Structure 1
Amino acid sequence: MFGLRISALALAVLSTGLTAGVFYAYAISVMPALARTDARTLVDVMQKVNVVIINPWFMLAFMGTVGFTLLALLTNLGAPQRKTLILVAIALALNVIAFGVTAGANVPLNDALAAAGDPAAVPDLATVRADFEAAWVRWNIVRAVVHTVAFAVLCGALVTAGIAEGRVSAN
């Protein structure tokens, strides 16, 4: 059972860390670079990014933040170290919050950007950009921070699980 608990925790750590990293990369490089471009470039690039990011690799990590963390919670229900369970529960709550930010804020902004249509045919790209950019960046930073905190908490859970197993094995 320890192997399953550790595997679930490792998958939760990995998926949460990868997702936090994607959103962190947007916050520190992609969006600041696009902020230095004209409205047509920003709209065109973000429309394309929002299409290509929906791929199996991203979705596995992104959905795994909740799915694998829930699996880690369930497999740790009978674990010898209650602290691990508490940390996983905190991380699950954080991952659900970050997932909610994505679903409730970033995705609707992405959808509105897509609905604007072909950037070459949009008459007022400055308005499209203004309606998208600042809000999307703000919510992206929120989800990056929340996923990063969840990642740190899950790392702590992995350590406490290993320590607890070491104590059990020593007895």
Structure 2
Amino acid sequence: MEVTIQNLLLTTLIALTGLSAGLCFTWSNAITPGIGRLDNIGFLQAFQKMNRAIINPLFLIVFFGPFLLNLINLCFFKGATNIMWLLIAATAVYFFGVLLITIFGNVPLNEILDKTDLGAASIEELKQLRDKFEDKWNRLHLIRTVASTISFLLLIITALIKN
């Protein structure tokens, strides 16, 4: 593959989307099932700490980068009809299935958890919080996992068609 700005952008886009899909898969496959085995206080404390730790510059690049680079890539592939449609599909799937689900689904749940003083909560309040949080968060996260993986696969197909 020839080294061009177009190819570098597409390769970077594929890498970031793959990292995002891998992060989602890891949470779905190992992290949430693992902490799901903890008691209520352990689960909520672990989730609270992980949510606080994950918001960092590297995560933000991996999380927002695919959408932003997809938009940039669309500018570089004008006229290449099949590639454009694949990029549009990858962008839409990532935007609706990852970004919007996160912003309007997972983040509000995370904020409820973050604002809760777990040390001051009763055993019943901890149970109620977990019941309100866990299943809904996991369902939303499954959507993100599937969407980021589909977006990644669409980008792989894009690269194969391009070359």
Question: What range describes the TM-score normalised by the shorter chain of this pair?
Answer: over 0.9
Q: Structure 1: any 5+ residue segments left out of the alignment?
A: 163-171
What TM-score do you get using the length of structure 2 for normalisation?
0.93
Tell me which amino acid in the other structure corresponds to 2:95.
Answer: V
How far has the Cα of 1:2 moved from its partner? 7.2
Question: In the alignment, what sits opposite 2:33?
Answer: 32
Question: In the alignment, what sits opposite 1:8?
Answer: 9
Tell me which amino acid in the other structure corresponds to 1:88.
Answer: L
Question: In the alignment, what sits opposite 1:89?
Answer: 88
C-alpha RMSD of matched pairs (Å): 1.4
Tell me which amino acid in the other structure corresponds to 1:55.
Answer: N
Tell me which amino acid in the other structure corresponds to 1:95.
Answer: Y
Calculate percent identity across the aligned residue pairs: 28
Tell me which amino acid in the other structure corresponds to 2:84.
Answer: L
C-alpha distance in structure 1 between counterparts of 2:70 and 2:27, whole Å: 24
Tell me which amino acid in the other structure corresponds to 1:93.
Answer: A
Partner SS, residue 36 of structure 1 = coil
C-alpha distance in structure 1 between counterparts of 2:44 and 2:78, whole Å: 46
C-alpha distance in structure 2 between counterparts of 1:142 and 1:158, whole Å: 24
Question: In the alignment, what sits opposite 2:120?
Answer: 121
Listed as ranges, the matches of 1:158-169 within 5 Å are 158-162=159-163
Partner SS, residue 75 of structure 2 = helix
Listed as ranges, the matches of 1:139-150 within 5 Å are 139-150=140-151
Larger-gyration structure (1/2)? 1
Question: In the alignment, what sits opposite 2:139?
Answer: 138
Tell me which amino acid in the other structure corresponds to 1:36.
Answer: R
Question: In the alignment, what sits opposite 2:49?
Answer: 48
Q: Structure 2: any 5+ residue segments left out of the alignment?
A: none
C-alpha distance in structure 2 between counterparts of 1:93 and 1:107, whole Å: 20
